[in-house]
Amino acid sequence: MERSDWELVQKCQAGEMDAFQELVSRYHQKVYMVILGLLRNREDALEVAQETFFRAFRKIKSFQGGSSFYTWIYRIAVNLSIDAQRRQKRNPLDFRESMDEVLEAQNEVAKDPFSDVHDKELRQTLLKAINDLTPEHKAVIVLRTIEGLSYKDIGEILGCSEGTVMSRLHYARKKLQYKLSEFL
């Protein structure tokens, strides 16, 4: 029988490394995808994802189970990503390189099921529009779109109310729709 996250956390707190490894195996892909959605650079995303689990390991003893493990780990991931994103914005050269890399990555994946998105121009406009969002707006869009998290969970991760999540999503979507208006 599969052990719950909370059981694994308790084992980690008792010093069992295997339990922590199992938690990492459960969430590493999801955490990586969220971070990649925020940073748009594979290498940076991998670094931040590993750093996320390292920080979680160091703080695991203070985790009391007040929230679920995944909202806790996403919170660490989003905070580290927002910090990294602000550093990226201060370095336009890095930003340009990361965009090139993402656009290149798009050409590698020609099998996604959404035919509309095959249009290269739409992809580029969409990625640019996402990048132009504020870190907070980008975070709600990514958490909702990739993970399909509830407003309550997103609020817990970002440390804000459900109403704020709703408001940020509304404005972020409105902004994206405006920039994509010619494609929709």
Partner 1 sequence: MRNCEGIRESIGSWLDGELSAAESESVRAHLVSCTDCGETRRRLEKMQLALKAALISQAPQIEFMSFWRGVERRINQKRAWYDDLLDWSRGLFAAPRVAWMVPAVIGILLVLASTDVWRLGGSRNSFASVESIDAYGRSVALLREQETKTTVIWLYQDQEGENDAAEDTAKSAPTF
Enumerate residues 6+ apart whose C-beta is below 8 A from 151: 162, 165, 166, 169
CB atoms within 10 A of CB 47: 15
Contact code string over 116-145 relative to partner 1, x by CB under 8 A: xx----xx--xx--x-xxx-xx---xx-xx
Which residue carries 């050409």 as its tokens?
107
Helix (H, G, I), strand (E, B) or coil at 161: coil
Q: Which is nearer to partner 1, 71 or 144 (CB)?
A: 144
Q: Does 75 interact with partner 1 (rule: CB under 8 A)?
A: no
What angle, 0 to 180 degrees and rounded to 10, lies between the N-to-C axes of helices 120-132 and 135-147?
130
Q: Is 13 among the residues that bind partner 1 (CB under 8 A)?
A: no
Q: Is 107 in the site for partner 1 (CB under 8 A)?
A: no
Shortest Å distance, C-beta 27 to partner 1 = 11
49/118 Cα distance (integer angstroms): 28
Give buried/exposed letters for 89-101 (b at 16+ CB in 10 A, else e). Answer: eeeeeebeebbee
Contact region with partner 1 (CB under 8 A), list: 1-9, 23-31, 64-72, 92-100: 23-31
Residues within the interface to partner 1 (CB under 8 A): 21, 24-25, 28-29, 32-33, 36-37, 40, 42, 46, 49-51, 53-54, 57, 79, 83, 86, 102, 105-106, 109, 112-114, 116-117, 122-123, 126-127, 130, 132-134, 136-137, 141-142, 144-146, 150-151, 159-171, 173-177, 180, 183-184
